[in-house]
């Protein structure tokens, strides 16, 4: 396997595995006591517990998209009177993709199934939703937050990242300390920390709805960029869309697992490879999107290596450099961002110096449907 392929897996793991300088012989890796003092919510800090036996391989689970049950006019989530009075407001980040929602407290949705269904519908339509000033959501604690995300499906448990003690559904994103930021971000061997990906697409049932909640963030930097893979598909010519029809590509967890072990972390499930259509259809909107990413996609089924690389490299370049269907989310402390992992790829912007600053968030997401392509001539 080429070093270029391995680097794809390495940079993906760096978003979840903190280089905290602890001995590889330790059975439970944690952040330092100083980090715990600085954290606004230390109960969300990560651990890597090597004492837990390796978990069995995932088997298929039922999935029923909650957006299919929503009133698409969103009367419970976004009441007309509150929109008219501007008690609730929606600000488009871009015309087709991404919305900042103001005036909605996510804690008010906890016991409101209709509002939660409508939230899923809005995520499926807009791709990315940003909610600021949500500290009460963090105060719910891990058990309630797990219950919240479980409404949308079976929570995904990341095979390598730091999680919470007793809560393997929590994927921790943590950057802090006095270590060399160039080493942390992979800049000793790369010119950029940008690592476009859709999370854990190597699973047979990759995630659908996902959220990241920001516990602490640096005063500037540390944003996340998202790209709309629906619009990326729409921009292709009819002939090129036809060329992609029927193609599947492999998505691999092996490189991520290898890097986790090398870094002294854990691998909780044996790494897998699954094949998914290069173009997938959304089960709610029926829109199609490009479904490959530089982090986990490896080869097109039935193609020779050079043929596969030529086509995949074009798609990576097409999605990753077309800024006219990308957005940038500027994090604030206690921001919560929801996105649809089936139609949005993302990358953290690791442009801040972690010396004296902390970027700490946690992610929750649910296992979605097995990706399908649908008919080539089906209406967009």
Tens of pLDDT, residues 206-264? 999 999 999 999 999 999 999 999 999 999 999 999 999 999 999 999 999 998 898 88
Axis-axis angle for helices 3-14, 254-262 (nearest 10)? 70
Q: DSSP letters of 155-213?
A: BP--SSS-BBTTBTTPEEEEE-SSS-HHHHTTTTT-S-----B-TTTTSSS-EEEEEEE
Given a contact cutoff of 8 angstroms between Cβ atoms, the answer to whether 176 and 21 are in contact is no
Residue 262 lies in a domain: yes
Is residue 6 in some structural domain? Answer: no
pTM score > 0.75 for this model?
yes
pLDDT digits (tens, 9 = 90+) for 316-343: 999 999 999 999 999 999 999 999 999 9
Domain that holds residue 358: 22-342+354-364
pLDDT value at residue 374 = 86
Is residue 378 in a domain?
Answer: no
Nearest to 363 by CA among 174, 90, 184: 174
In this structure, is residue 16 part of a structural domain? no
41 class by beta-carbon count within 10 Å (0-12 exposed, 13-18 middle, 19+ buried) = middle
For residues 67-91, average pLDDT:
98
With a cut of 80, say whether residue 47 has pLDDT above it: yes
Q: Are 346 and 174 in contact (CB under 8 A)?
A: no
- Cβ atoms of residues 203 and 156 within 8 Å: yes
Instruction: Residue 182: give its domain's CATH number.
Output: 3.60.130.10
Is the CA virtual torsion 121, 126, 132, 138 positive or negative? Answer: positive
Tell me what percent of the residues of the chain surpass a pLDDT of 90.
Answer: 74
Side-chain half-sphere CA neighbours of 34 within 13 A: 8
Output the pLDDT for position 378.
Answer: 61
Q: Residue 380 falls within a domain, yes or no?
A: no
The total domain count for the chain is: 1
Q: State the residue for tokens 């992992």.
A: 341
Report yes or no on 11 lying in a domain: no
């Amino acid at each position: 396997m080429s070093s270029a392929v391995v680097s794809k897996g390495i940079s993906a793991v760096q978003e979840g595995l903190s280089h905290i300088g602890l001995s590889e012989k330790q059975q439970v890796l944690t952040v330092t006591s100083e980090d715990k003092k600085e954290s606004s919510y230390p109960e969300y800090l990560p651990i890597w517990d090597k004492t837990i036996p390796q978990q069995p391989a995932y088997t298929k689970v039922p999935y029923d998209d909650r957006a299919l049950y929503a009133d698409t006019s969103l009367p419970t989530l976004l009441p007309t009177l509150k929109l008219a009075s501007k008690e609730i407001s929606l600000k488009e980040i871009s015309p087709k993709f991404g919305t900042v929602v103001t005036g909605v407290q996510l804690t008010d949705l906890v016991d409101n199934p209709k509002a939660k269904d409508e939230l899923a519908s809005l995520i499926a339509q807009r791709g990315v939703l940003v909610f600021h000033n949500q500290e009460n959501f963090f105060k719910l604690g891990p058990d309630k937050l797990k219950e919240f995300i479980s409404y949308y499906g079976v929570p995904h448990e990341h095979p390598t990242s730091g999680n919470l003690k007793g809560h393997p559904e929590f994927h921790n994103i943590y950057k802090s300390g006095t270590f060399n930021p160039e080493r942390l971000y992979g800049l000793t061997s790369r010119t950029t920390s940008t690592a476009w990906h859709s999370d854990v697409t190597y699973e047979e049932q990759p995630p659908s709805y996902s959220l990241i909640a920001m516990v602490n963030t640096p005063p500037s930097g540390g944003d996340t960029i998202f790209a709309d893979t629906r619009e990326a598909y729409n921009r292709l010519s009819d002939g090129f869309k036809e060329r992609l029809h029927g193609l599947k590509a492999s998505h691999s967890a092996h490189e991520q697992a290898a890097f986790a072990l090398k870094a002294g972390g854990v691998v909780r499930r044996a790494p897998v490879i699954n094949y998914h259509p290069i173009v997938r259809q959304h089960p709610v909107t029926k829109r199609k999107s490009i479904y490959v990413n530089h982090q986990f996609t490896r080869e097109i089924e039935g193609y020779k290596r050079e043929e596969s690389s030529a086509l995949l490299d074009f798609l990576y370049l097409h999605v990753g450099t077309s800024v006219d269907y990308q957005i940038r989310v500027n994090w604030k402390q206690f921001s919560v961002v929801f996105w649809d992992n089936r139609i949005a790829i993302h990358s953290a912007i690791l442009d801040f110096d972690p010396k004296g600053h902390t970027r700490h968030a946690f992610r929750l997401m649910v296992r979605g449907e097995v990706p399908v392509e649908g008919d080539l001539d089906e209406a967009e």
